[in-house]
Amino acid sequence: MSKDVLKIIREKCSEENLSKLEALNNQTLLEFIAEYLELCNPDTIFVRTDSEEDTDYIRKKALELKEELPLTTKGHTIHFDGYNDQARDKKNTKFLVDESTELSRGINQVAKEEGLKEVKSYLKNLMSGKEAYVCFYCLGPNDSEFSISAVQITDSSYVAHSEDILYRGGYEEFKKLNDKDSFFKFVHSAGALENGVSRDIDKRRVYIDLSNNIVYSTNTQYGGNTIGLKKLAMRLAIKKASDEGWLTEHMFVMGTIGKNGRKTYFTGAFPSACGKTSTSMLEGEKIVGDDIAYLRKIGNEIRAVNVERGMFGIIKDVNSEDDPLIWRALHDPGEIIFSNILMTPEKTPYWLGKDGDVPSEGINYSGKWQPQKKDDANNEITPSHKNARYTIRLAELGNRDEKADAPEGVKVEGVIYGGRDSNTSVPIEEAFNWKHGILTKAATLESETTAATLGQEGVRVFNPMSNLDFLSIPLGRYIENNIKFVKGLNNPPKIFSVNYFLKDKEGKYISGMHDKHVWLKWMQLRVYGEVEAIKTPSGYIPFYEDLKQLFKEVLNKEYAREVYNEQFKIRVPENVAKIDRILVIYKEQVDDTPEEIIKELELQRERFFKLADELGDHVTPDILKENQNLV
């Protein structure tokens, strides 16, 4: 660098803030900070340690700069992103690639030299006139072999405040690095502001440098593009996990309570709008985390931690009946940031799907709002954005598990994969074994689109492990990593698939909204071998008698045999059609497909054909259990 590192930093901060950095004894860190202070050129910097005093400084700055506005309930604030800056920018989120980078076909990428030149040209002097926040966090619990240290430089107090809610403090963790470069780095600027929001959306970029563990984010405020430690860090962690022999997964972690208080921990991966949050937040169960998990093989067990300590949750349709735990937390005093919802004249939040009537006026992401307000393209502006969010610590929820911060994580007994499927998969099914589950349930995960969001209902989107958008390694290698992950374990976790969205011929859902709680309880019984199951060509399904008892115990609901037979009917043509769809993808669109997945899917297709030859295209479980020799 052209100037002395400490001189560059000293020019931007007080002696107190400089001493905070020097105390970390990490020259690599100082060089990183100096490089981007010189490039971005903020007027001053503030260094956030783990102290409550530093945290409070950023909270107050968010209000002072009006990046957040106070609401009536103590601790509640609201933040607005720009009208066209309220979702992840998939088009402009790219990997910086060189000759050593391996990615699957179709993943957004740009030549590293070209991308760095572009994003650094945008970052040059982009923080001029502002204060930058240098913040230290820990991905995963503190003092843990799961822990990954991270530093973010941002000129947004809203982003810094959000990260404080979402992530564990990492300043003290940095002291343990002993000048190592084993940390993630994030540089973000909201850019020039107009009416308090990012002006130059055409220069919005999110560029990921895997070789140096750096993510750059420019000219955007939306959390999914700016909160570096969330999905941006997930991409870095997937690569790191692959190199080191563990897994980074797009999964919740939850504890299910069984008889005599026995607790069993499950992880679960579901694409958007497939029931992930509603499963992890079932009343009476315990939540460790709702979104991202690290999994490691420790001894003879798979253990998992929640990467985060908070939730950046979609608030649309959160209501008192379906989401009682979240609903209560969102109405109690406590630290919560609402984003892109409607602020009523009484300074209370309103969101789409909230209990009660729609307010007659308020302020939202478009400014002053009234019903029937339209934008420049004559589109109606809803009172709250469909992707509106709430940011809250899990500690504010009544069902947070006591092991949520345990450095050793929790033992995983079961893994759940769920998709939106109207006509094929049964509501709950157990894989034959770990490998079968990864190849035929995880790697074949699909989710149907809905007419409300995309204008065409029933289009199946391929999303293996619900992680395709975030993969920073080739898909084939990712699948192989999952298969090999349990090598040497005596009793790997069981793998299950769930589908809450089966419909009858009239298009009505066959399962009730709360039936998922019964499926979860059945999974727990299967983990301990306490109920038998019926073998199908694709796994194991429940006996009617076991479900009837569980429906009574869990939901106090009668469960008819006719409903059971319709829910768990084996739909052979539909299953074969899915296998054929997936085989085309893996044979024609994936460059590094493991031969194992082709073989496993073709064997499963043959089992379906054999069943249909003997018993027909649609086979009820009552008939199937009498003909187990055919499976």
CATH number (domain holding residue 220): 3.40.449.10
pLDDT over 80 (residue 179):
no
Pairing of strands 205-209, 93-97: parallel
Q: What share of the chain is helix, strand, coil (3-state, %, to 5)?
A: 35, 25, 40
DSSP string, 579-593: HHHHHHHHHHT-TT-
CATH number of the domain residue 562 falls in? 3.90.228.20
608 in a domain, yes or no? no
The conformation of residue 274, written as its DSSP 8-state character, comes to: S
Together in a domain, 133 and 44: yes
Give residue-wise pLDDT tens across range 567-610: 999 999 999 999 999 999 999 999 899 999 999 999 999 999 99
Half-sphere exposure of 211 (CA within 13 A, CB side): 12
Tokens of 200: 């130059």
Q: Could you say which of 376, 396, 416 is where a domain stops?
A: 396
72 in a domain, yes or no? no
Instruction: Identify the pLDDT of residue 3.
Output: 61
Instruction: Identify the pLDDT of residue 258.
Output: 93
Beta bridge partners of 186: 152, 215
pLDDT over 90 (residue 101):
no
- Whether 274 is a known active-site residue: answer yes
579 in a domain, yes or no? no
The conformation of residue 333, written as its DSSP 8-state character, comes to: S
pLDDT over 90 (residue 31):
yes
In degrees to the nearest 10, what's the CA dihedral of 271, 115, 196, 376? -70
Q: Could you say which of 396, 413, 437 is where a domain stops?
A: 396
> What average pLDDT does range 22-42 have in this prediction?
96
User: How many other CB atoms are there within 10 angstroms of residue 98's CB atom?
Assistant: 11
Q: Which of 419, 410, 152 is nearest to 294 (CA)?
A: 410
Together in a domain, 254 and 226: no
Instruction: Identify the pLDDT of residue 457.
Output: 58
The conformation of residue 94, written as its DSSP 8-state character, comes to: E
Q: Which of 188, 205, 193, 12 is nearest to 94 (CA)?
A: 205
Together in a domain, 252 and 387: no
From the candidates 40, 135, 138, 274, which is the catalytic residue? 274
Instruction: Identify the pLDDT of residue 451.
Output: 43
Amino acid identity at 543 = F
- The gap from C-alpha 236 to its chain's centroid, in whole angstroms, comes to 14
| Strand-by-strand arrangement of the 349-350 sheet | 349-350, 342-343, 362-364, 367-369
DSSP string, 535-565: EETTEEEE-HHHHHHHIIIII-----HHHHH
Give residue-wise pLDDT tens across range 47-73: 999 999 999 999 999 999 999 999 999
Together in a domain, 417 and 432: yes
Tokens of 628: 């187990």
Q: What rounded mean pLDDT belongs to the chain?
A: 95
Tokens of 156: 């947004």
Together in a domain, 460 and 337: no
Residue 468 contacts residue 446 (beta carbons within 8 Å): no
Count up the domains in the chain and report the number.
3
H helical segments located in 245-373 = 276-280, 324-331
**Cα–Cα distance between 517 and 521 in angstroms, integer?**
6
Together in a domain, 282 and 332: no
pLDDT over 50 (residue 452):
no
Give residue-wise pLDDT tens across range 546-565: 999 999 999 999 999 999 99
Q: What percent of the chain has pLDDT over 90?
A: 90
584 in a domain, yes or no? no
Q: Which strand (E) or helix (H) includes residue 28? A: helix 27-40
Instruction: Identify the pLDDT of residue 450.
Output: 58
Q: Which of 522, 524, 528, 531 is nearest to 254 (CA)?
A: 524
Together in a domain, 155 and 270: no
Q: Could you say which of 365, 396, 427 is where a domain stops?
A: 396
Residue 14 contacts residue 49 (beta carbons within 8 Å): no
Q: What percent of the chain has pLDDT over 70?
A: 98
81 in a domain, yes or no? no
Together in a domain, 349 and 449: no
Together in a domain, 486 and 509: yes
**Cα–Cα distance between 621 and 631 in angstroms, integer?**
12
pLDDT over 60 (residue 219):
yes
Amino acid identity at 511 = S
Amino acid identity at 153 = I
pLDDT-based confidence at residue 223 (cuts at 50, 70, 90): very high
**Cα–Cα distance between 84 and 63 in angstroms, integer?**
23
558 in a domain, yes or no? yes
Together in a domain, 386 and 296: no
Q: Which of 402, 596, 431 is nearest to 527 (CA)?
A: 431
Instruction: Identify the pLDDT of residue 576.
Output: 98
Instruction: Identify the pLDDT of residue 454.
Output: 40
* Reported pTM: 0.95
15 in a domain, yes or no? yes
> What average pLDDT does range 524-538 have in this prediction?
98
Domain that holds residue 271: 248-310+404-542+551-570
> What average pLDDT does range 199-207 have in this prediction?
97
199 in a domain, yes or no? yes
Residue 510 contacts residue 563 (beta carbons within 8 Å): yes
Least confident of 191-205, 316-330, 438-452, 616-630: 438-452
Count of H helices and E strands in the chain? 20, 35
Tokens of 520: 């979860």
Together in a domain, 367 and 513: no
Residue 547 contacts residue 564 (beta carbons within 8 Å): yes
Together in a domain, 485 and 512: yes
3-state secondary structure 202-222: HHCEEEEECCCCEEEEECCCC
CATH number of the domain residue 350 falls in? 2.170.8.10
